Amino acid sequence: MNNKPLPIVHDRRELAAGDMLRVEQVELEFPNGERRTYSRMKARGLGAVIIVPMLDATTVLLAREYAAGLHHYEIGLPKGRLERGESILEAAQREMKEEIGYGARKLQELTRLIVLARDLYPEKLEGDEPEEIEVVPWPMADLHALTAREDCTEGRTIAALYIARDYLAAEAVRVDAASRG
């Protein structure tokens, strides 16, 4: 654990605000006396979730949807913001149904942001997407080929897939060891 003191915040000013993000300017003084002014985007909302929906033991379901910031279609995991009063697992269930048309009987929080979804069943909820999202099944064993594609560049998706892959591999080892006695 790092016990280094945090910089002192001398001032904060909102520079611009939008529907989802606001830009804030922060004036800081570091423990060594150096002062700096930073601009940062500060997200609004109650948090977010990214879901790794496993169709079966080896296949993840991805969503191909328009990425406005990149102006192309991107393949990624279903994700979204938490709504007021909603837990991360409730948000995961809702986002999957809205984006890929599946719910899950088993949801497991892997990190504060990532939820592993298994034992899927078809169920569609109305979402806020302007067009139908294409569902893309992908073998977890072939993540290298997925991340080499020009349409799979979103860092949260890539990190979540590798975290889930490692978790599932470790789980398989534990199950195998337990079955051997």
Segment 79-119, tens digit of pLDDT: 999 999 999 999 999 999 999 999 999 999 999 999 999 99
Segment 48-65 mean pLDDT: 96
What is the chain's length? Answer: 181
Distance CA 175, CA 136 (A): 29
- Dump strand ranges (E) for the chain: 8-17, 21-29, 35-43, 48-53, 59-67, 72-76, 79-81, 102-109, 114-122, 134-139
Segment 159-173 mean pLDDT: 94
Distance CA 74, CA 63 (A): 8
Listed residue (125, 128, 66) closest to 101, CA to CA: 125
Pick the residue with more confidence: 51 or 72? 51
**Given this model, what pLDDT does residue 131 score?**
84
